[in-house]
Structure 1
Amino acid sequence: MTLAIGQPVPDFTADATGDTRVSLSELRGRQVVVYFYPKASTPGCTTEGGDFRDHKAAFDAANTEILGVSRDGIRAQENFKAKQGFNFALISDKDETLCRLFDVIKLKKLYGKEHMGIERSTFLIDAEGRLAREWRGVKVPGHVEEVLAAAQALHAES
């Protein structure tokens, strides 16, 4: 199954930081940004998370929840969140349930070696639970501002 713009995103429940579980259905009525990053505590992922952290008040004003997702275990996610002062939940997707749902596991090359890993991607889900926008193969600089503008425009329409 491939997610398509305008289609409902299947409900999911996942383990998150702060000893919590996050369910998409519980966030109905709010927009949700789900962003996938390759690995906690790496430079690009730290920068991207910091950008979301620094813009959280603006996302809140646009009625938008932020969820960061990687295949790291919950302890690594807790450490990453605490060290960087992230003010949103990080999800541990060790079994790749969400990665598969959003189709973000791709063949990647690093130092000439191929491996399967997370392609940096972001998804904006509207307040009714439908996929509104997607960004794949994300480059970090300027990305969060682009997602924020989309979230604000979507919120203004509702």
Structure 2
Amino acid sequence: MSVELDKPVSDFTATATGNTTVTLSELQGEQVVIYFYPKASTPGCTTEGGDFRDRKAAFDDANTVILGVSRDGLRAQENFKEKQDFNFALIADTEAALCEQFDVLKPKADGERPGLERSTFLIDAEGRLAREWRGVKVPGHVDEVLEAAQALNAKG
């Protein structure tokens, strides 16, 4: 069961920072950006998270919630969020349920357990997948996602 463009995204509930849970259906009426990153507190993931943090007000203006997801445990996510002053929830997908739903686990060259491919998804206010970015390169990425969120919100 993976996601498809222009199709509803299956509901999920996930454990997030701040002793909270995130349920997709409870965000109906708002756009949602879900970005998957390989590992908390690593350079690329810190840069990407900082870019989302620094543009959060613009995402808010575009009626868009930001959610970061990795397979790190909740304690690592809490530490990452606090240290980087992230102003959005981070989801601890330790069982890789969301990673599988969004099909972001990819084989590593060394044959070890699959790695998480840096990917971002934009879900519209009705819960349909509007855009996806896979194999993301961090520089300029958040600006591209923000432009898509703003354009989608203007259509809505």
TM-score by length of 1: 0.97
Equivalences for residues 2-151 of structure 1 within 5 A: 2-109=2-109, 113-115=110-112, 116-151=114-149
Measure the CA separation in 1 of the matches of 2:4 and 2:90.
24
1:6-48 Cα offsets, whole Å, 9 max, x none, are 0000000000000000000010000000000000000000000
Q: Which amino acid aligns with 2:144?
A: E
1:119 Cα deviation from its structure 2 partner: 0.1
Measure the CA separation in 2 of the matches of 1:9 and 1:130.
6
Instruction: After the TM superposition, list the runs of 4 or more consecutive aligned residues in structure 1 that deviate by more than 4 angstroms.
Output: none
Q: Which amino acid aligns with 1:157?
A: K
**Root mean square deviation, CA, Å:** 0.7
Measure the CA separation in 1 of the matches of 2:141 and 2:111.
26
1:3 Cα deviation from its structure 2 partner: 1.4
Q: Which amino acid aligns with 2:16?
A: A
Q: Which amino acid aligns with 2:60?
A: D
Q: Percent identity over the alignment?
A: 74
Check conservation: 2:35, 2:68, Cα contact below 8 A.
yes
* Structure 2 gap segments, 5+ residues each: none
Measure the CA separation in 2 of the matches of 1:84 and 1:150.
25
Measure the CA separation in 2 of the matches of 1:141 and 1:107.
24
**Which structure dedicates a bigger proportion of its chain to strand?**
1
Q: How many residues get paired?
A: 155
Check conservation: 2:33, 2:121, Cα contact below 8 A.
yes
* Structure 1 gap segments, 5+ residues each: none
Q: Which amino acid aligns with 1:122?
A: T
1:2 Cα deviation from its structure 2 partner: 2.9
1:114 Cα deviation from its structure 2 partner: 3.4
Q: Which amino acid aligns with 1:19?
A: N
1:44-89 Cα offsets, whole Å, 9 max, x none, are 0000000000000000000000000000000000000000000000
